[in-house]
Structures are given as C-alpha cells and as structure tokens.
Structure 1
Amino acid sequence: MSRFDRYLLSQLLALFGFFSLVLVGVYWVNRAVGLFDDLIGDGQSAVVFLQFSLLTLPNVVRLVLPISAFIGAVYVANRLMSESELVVMQATGFSAFRLARPVWYFGLIVAAMMLILMNVLVPASRSALAERSAVISQNVSARFLKDGQFIHPTDGITLYIREIAATGELLDLFLADDRILATRALYTARKAFFAKTDTGPKLLMVDGMVQVLSAKGQQLSVTRFADFTYDMAGLMAAPGPRKRNMAELSTYELLAPTQELATEVRETEDSLRFEGHSRIAQPFTAVAAALIGFASLLLGAFSRFGFWRQVGIAVALLLGVQAIATVATSVGEAVAGGWMLAYAAPLIGIAIGVFELWFSQRPRRVAKMVTA
C-alpha cells in the first residue's frame, strides 16, 4: 500500500470511528430510555437493564456503520478538496479511480465488520435477548409485586402488599379473587412467600384468613389458617417451549430453510431465504455508501463557497439506494427466487459510485468570455 493510500485510509478510519461512536451513542441512549421505562418500571433491577442494553448494542452498531462510512467519506473528501490536497494529487497524474483506491479498502473493512455483526453477533444477541425476556416474563415477583400499591395482574385478581422485606417476605398481604362468578374470595395473611414448582409458581401464605362470599344466599364463610398455598396459575400461564423468530436463526439455516423451520418462525421459505442472502449482501452497502460519498465530491471543481451541492447529490443518491433496498425487500420476500433482489441495492450503489468516478474525470467545458 502506497503512502498516499495509507494516509487517506487512516483519515477515513479515524473519522469513521469518531462518527460511529457518536451515532451509536445517540441510538443507544434513545433505545435505553425506552428500555429503562419498561424494565425499571416493571420492577426489574439495574443489572437486568444493563444486560438488555448490552444485548441490543450489536444491532444498533449494525445500523450505524453504513451511515458512519458515508459521513466519514464525505467529510474526508470535503476537507481534502478544500485544502487542495486532492487537486495536487490529480495534478500529479492520479485518476479518480486511483484516488478512490483507499476508499475501496475502507469500504471493504467496514463491510467485513458488518458481515461479522450480521451473521454472528446480531443473531447471537437476539437469541440471548429472547431467552432473557422469556425468563423475565416468568419472574412473578418482579412483574407483579410492588409494595404499597393495588395491582391487577389479570382480570378478577387484586393484590396488595404493604411491604416487601429484604429477605423476600411479603408482609401484610391482601388478595381478592373474583374470577368465579357469584363468588368472591378474600385472602389476608401476615406474611407470604413465593415458591417455584414444576406446575408453576405458588404463593405460600402464613397466619391468615380466607373469606368466601357467595352471592347466592349471601353466605359468608371464614376460615383461619396457619399456612395456606395459593396456585398462581391465574396470574401467569405455565411456561411452554419457546419458539424462535427469524432474527435468531443462523445464516446457514436461512439459506437452506425447511418447511418445519418456516412453520416454527411463522414465515415463508422465500422470506427466510431472502433474509439469509440479505445478511450477505447488506454489508456491501457500506462500500457503496463510502464510494458515493467520496466520488460525489469529485464531481465539482474547487469553490470558495464549499461543496454543498455535491454533498446534496451524495445524500440524494444514498437515499435512492436505500429506497431500492426497501422496495427489493418488500418484493423479494414475497416471490419465489426473490432472494436475488437482496443484491440489487449494493450492486446499484457501487455502480453509481463507479459511474461518478468515471464522470468526474471527463474534460469539463470552460465557458468562453465574450468581450464587447
């Protein structure tokens, strides 16, 4: 690699790293706020919130990398054009394609990162996140137990706990069960505990009383107990086998889907196959983004007013490539053989960048001055 290639590549990687950190921070904080409201408000600990936040990070990075590659390429090209460094290199005989060689290296490095993310890290994090969510959904004490509040875990159930001790004891519990028509049962206990069994969670109440009021005949029966076990099946369904979704599947499974796999994730074989090829093709949009961003700024000559027109062209072209990707996804998932459309957006984007490089080195016409 020549000294110029190393210099330009180092500039691209440095700006790419900076913009990636900024954008990942913005995206991550935005998602973390929603997670914080959902998890902490649902009674989960800060450790659970941190686990969920870290598991969402690979997908956030995957979304940010092409944008960072584009911004980095535009910023570096704009700076080198403004300082006439690229003009000097062109004057020494460097063609537009030669100037863009380190941009190709840069785009392929970013594409390699995205390949690892999309085919290894993101599916693994999605699977771990789904498993952790399933565990959290079965955690009755975190979902339903809030001291000092009347809560309604399900229709016909009202629960109140005066205080939850540090040892996990539920002090001064009140439970109203109105699920059976014409009958109301009230449970009170000085303290209670939760216990997990093979048939589901149980509520163990100590030193309490059961009052059952029958609407028919207006009869009230009172039973005092030293200990009593209440089945929590009404509060939470028994856990069943967890079904995976398409984001958790490996790329190998997506490229060769079976009918059983499609039934498990509730998708068609065509959509699974398209998703598998999309994981291979989508990383190369980073190459297209970097190439379009760099080549667009070579289209115009130096101007003291900057290169805003060229930047606008680059943004418009990138939006066009994204629109092609959106249309290709909607069509490719619905038709047989549509997996080939997964490669449409990256290939078209790269072709646009190559065309811009070719067009930028065409001789420009200079307007002749007309003298009176």
Structure 2
Amino acid sequence: MTRYEFNPAARSASTLPLEGRGDKVGRFDRYFLSQLLTLFGFFSLVLILLYWVNRAVGLFDQLIGDGQSALVFLEFSALALPGIIRIVVPLAAFVAALYVTNRLISESEIVVLQATGCSPRRLARPVWLFGLIVGLITAALVHALAPAAARVLDDREEEIANNVTAQFLTPGEFLTPATGVTVYVRNITEEGVLEDMFLADTRDDDSHVIYTASNAYLVRSDRGPQLVMVTGMAQTLRVADLRLYTTRFQDFTYDIGRLMVTETGGRIPSRQVSTHDLWQASADLQERTNRSVVSLRAEVHDRINKTIVGVAAALLGFAPLMLGRFSRFGAWKQIVGAVLLVVVVNSLESWGSTIADTAPERWPLIYVSGLTGLAIPILLLFVAAPPRFRSDRRAQGLPA
C-alpha cells in the first residue's frame, strides 16, 4: 500500500506568490496556443478538402464536358479556394477550440490550473490570442484575397465562355450553345478551318434561318468572335406564311458574340470589389454594380462582421466548457450547448448578410451576430468563476 506523508513545509499552489505561478501559467499558455493552432490547421485542411471535393465534382463535369483541359480545372479550383477557406476558417477554429479544451479538461490539466488559482478568464488568454489570429486570417480573406480571386475567376469564366472553339464547336456533333441555336461541323483541320458547316438559328419567332457552308473560319474582332462562312447558302423560313427564301453567298459573317452575351449586361457583383473601393463607392462603381452608396458600404460592414465572427468562433469553443464541475462522464452537456450557440450565431450572421442585400440602410443590425458571439463567451467566463473563487481572489489582492 502506498503511503502518503504530509510535509508541513510545503505550501499549496494556490498560496504561492503570483510570480511563482506566472512562468508555469505562461508555459501553459504557449502549450495551449500551440495545440489550438495545430488542430486548427488539421481541421481546416479536412474541411477544405470536403468543401473542395463537393465543388470540384460539378466543376469537373462542366469544364471537361466543354472540352477544357485538366490544367484549366486546376486553375479554377485554385481560384475558388479563398472563398472556400473563408467559410471553413471560423468553423475550424470552433472545432479546434472545442476539441483541445475538452481534451485538456478530460486530462485534468485545466482542472489543476484552476486549483492553483487561475480563473477561467485567465485561462482564456491563449484562446483570445488564437481568436485574434483567426480574425486576421478571416480579414485577409474577406477584404483582399476572396474578392481578388473572384475577380480573376469571373474573368477566366468569361474568357472560357468566349472560347467558341472549345464550347461552340466539336467535330461530328450537333451542339446547342444557346437556346434556339444548333451547330454542326464535320471536321476541324489543324489550320482551324471548319469543314462542312451547319448552323440553324431559330431564336426569332418570325423567321428561322439555316446557314450551310463548305468552309468557315473563326475570326477575332473588336466586336467579339466572328464566324466567316465561305461558299454557302442561307435558307430563311418566314413563319407567318411558311415561305422559304434561299440566298447563296461567297462569304458571309455571322456574329457569334451575340450568343455569348451575359445576363448581367456588363455589371459586376460586389463580391469582386475590394473593401477600399466598396467604401469609396464611386459613381462608376455604383453604376457597374447597380448598387447605391449605402448598399456598397453595407457590404463592407458585413465583411467586418465576418472578421468578428471569426474571433468569436474560437471563444465559443472554449467558454461553454468552463461551466460546471469536472465529471468522469465528460462535458457532453457543455459541448452540446457550445454547438447550439454556434448555430445561433451562424443564423444571425446569415440574417445580417440578408439585411446587407435587402435593407442596407439597417446596416447596424449586421453586427448583431458578431457582438452576440463575443458577448456570450465573456458572460460565460464570468459565470464560470464561482463567487467564492472571486471573493478569495479579491481577498488576496488579485484580479478575479
């Protein structure tokens, strides 16, 4: 049987001078922070892969089906990553804080520190630092990286859309690049000559036109891509009286650029614009985005709130677990409570984003989710310190 002897010279850790405990707590802070960053990196990688695979499946079918190469697919996937990471970062921070805190509690490391006189608010110091790091990452994504990547991605999508050789022409197949337009090319030579061209344009309800040509060429111009057909015939069917008109030509130019007109009519979405430009809200930007000054600046407030939510996510994974006493059955009740709090904050964040789009003049409501996400952990950390603990700390002249 093991014998335990009482050493009267020994003092309990809670009565040690603050200087004696500072180094140990400081080492624990560094250890806690390193664990948070390590698990944050791991969970971020896992979640990014899950989101990326889900997006890549549809993107792969779209690009490869349009005749694009694997390099284009990888380029588009890389440009989509900043937007995916922006979504993943707060969630990964919450999961990392929840996992590390629960493990430290189950292994009694936090329990021992609390026994030495460390309050929950003092133990939260590395979590605050971790939250600030997550907030900086989120800020870099929402204010700079994600808008820049979205801008480049949309430019590349427009370039691919205008690449009619890839999406408009596939030898030996009848294709419908636009509603009411059917194209067939028997063969495309290495020089780019389109042999035995067939093009049916039925977009006009009053007349339907069929073009046939022995050869055709794709030509770039200031007005966009043009299809030049050589030695062919145009057959026009007037729908009103079902009369057919035939016209033979030696060369004829068909404006393919009309098939590539986008629905936005030259407008750009605000997600492509940097935060600085959104806040300036110039007249040109208002016209190009079709949004008012208040609406553009509400988008800036929404981005700032996303940064605050990133900080709050880390605290929401820590503070609820400080409630209650140590139990051999684990802290599953606190974990469930933390998950529910995150669901509430995310719901408020979605509500704030909706306000930024539909009622920008009510922009102060956008910050409800971020401020709620910060206020709840602070309140929980205050509640987590029992009154007796706080009164003992005040008696020793230490902060509660």
TM-score, normalisation: structure 2: 0.81
State the match for 2:354 in structure 1.
Answer: 330
Q: CA 1:93–1:129 in structure 2 vs 1: closer, same or farther (change >3 Å)?
A: same
State the match for 1:254 in structure 2.
Answer: 278
Quick one: which of 136, 146, 149 aligns to 1:122? 146
- Note the aligned Cα RMSD (angstroms): 2.9
State the match for 1:77 in structure 2.
Answer: 101
Gaps of 5+ in 1: 365-372
Instruction: Supply the distance in 2 between the matched residues of 1:360 and 1:246 (Cα, whole angstroms).
Output: 43
Say whether the 8 Å CA contact 2:302–2:356 is kept in structure 1: no
1:65-121 deviations in Å (ceiling 9; x for gaps): 000000000000111111111111111111101111000010001101111111111
State the match for 1:38 in structure 2.
Answer: 62
* Structure 2 residue 131 is matched with structure 1 residue 107: yes
Aligned pairs, how many? 360
Deviation at 1:16, TM superposition (A): 0.2
- AA matched with 2:322: L
* Structure 2 residue 173 is matched with structure 1 residue 133: no
Instruction: Supply the distance in 2 between the matched residues of 1:211 and 1:277 (Cα, whole angstroms).
Output: 56
**Is the partner of 2:31 in helix, strand or coil?**
helix
Q: CA 1:146–1:61 in structure 2 vs 1: closer, same or farther (change >3 Å)?
A: same
- AA matched with 2:255: M
User: What does residue range 104-183 of structure 1 map to in structure 2 within 5 Å?
Assistant: 104-154=128-178, 157-177=181-201
Deviation at 1:131, TM superposition (A): 1.5
Judge which range, 213-222 or 322-331, deviates more.
213-222
**Is the partner of 1:152 in helix, strand or coil?**
strand
Instruction: Supply the distance in 1 between the matched residues of 2:85 and 2:29 (Cα, whole angstroms).
Output: 26
State the match for 1:202 in structure 2.
Answer: 226
Instruction: Supply the distance in 2 between the matched residues of 1:202 and 1:158 (Cα, whole angstroms).
Output: 16
Say whether the 8 Å CA contact 2:225–2:257 is kept in structure 1: no
- AA matched with 1:338: R
Identity of aligned residues (%): 44
State the match for 2:254 in structure 1.
Answer: 231
Gaps of 5+ in 2: 1-22, 389-400
Say whether the 8 Å CA contact 1:270–1:333 is kept in structure 2: no
Q: CA 1:351–1:238 in structure 2 vs 1: closer, same or farther (change >3 Å)?
A: closer
Q: CA 1:363–1:235 in structure 2 vs 1: closer, same or farther (change >3 Å)?
A: same
- AA matched with 1:111: G
State the match for 1:367 in structure 2.
Answer: none
- AA matched with 1:129: L
Instruction: Supply the distance in 2 between the matched residues of 1:353 and 1:164 (Cα, whole angstroms).
Output: 65
- AA matched with 1:76: V
Deviation at 1:337, TM superposition (A): 5.1
Q: CA 1:362–1:193 in structure 2 vs 1: closer, same or farther (change >3 Å)?
A: same
Instruction: Supply the distance in 1 between the matched residues of 2:92 and 2:242 (Cα, whole angstroms).
Output: 74
Instruction: Supply the distance in 2 between the matched residues of 1:192 and 1:281 (Cα, whole angstroms).
Output: 55
State the match for 1:48 in structure 2.
Answer: 72
Q: CA 1:61–1:172 in structure 2 vs 1: closer, same or farther (change >3 Å)?
A: same
1:24-50 deviations in Å (ceiling 9; x for gaps): 111111111121122222232222222
Say whether the 8 Å CA contact 2:281–2:293 is kept in structure 1: yes
Q: CA 1:16–1:349 in structure 2 vs 1: closer, same or farther (change >3 Å)?
A: same
* Structure 2 residue 311 is matched with structure 1 residue 295: no
Deviation at 1:169, TM superposition (A): 3.4
State the match for 1:188 in structure 2.
Answer: 213
* Structure 2 residue 341 is matched with structure 1 residue 317: yes
- AA matched with 1:292: L
Instruction: Supply the distance in 1 between the matched residues of 2:254 and 2:365 (Cα, whole angstroms).
Output: 53
Q: CA 1:250–1:305 in structure 2 vs 1: closer, same or farther (change >3 Å)?
A: same
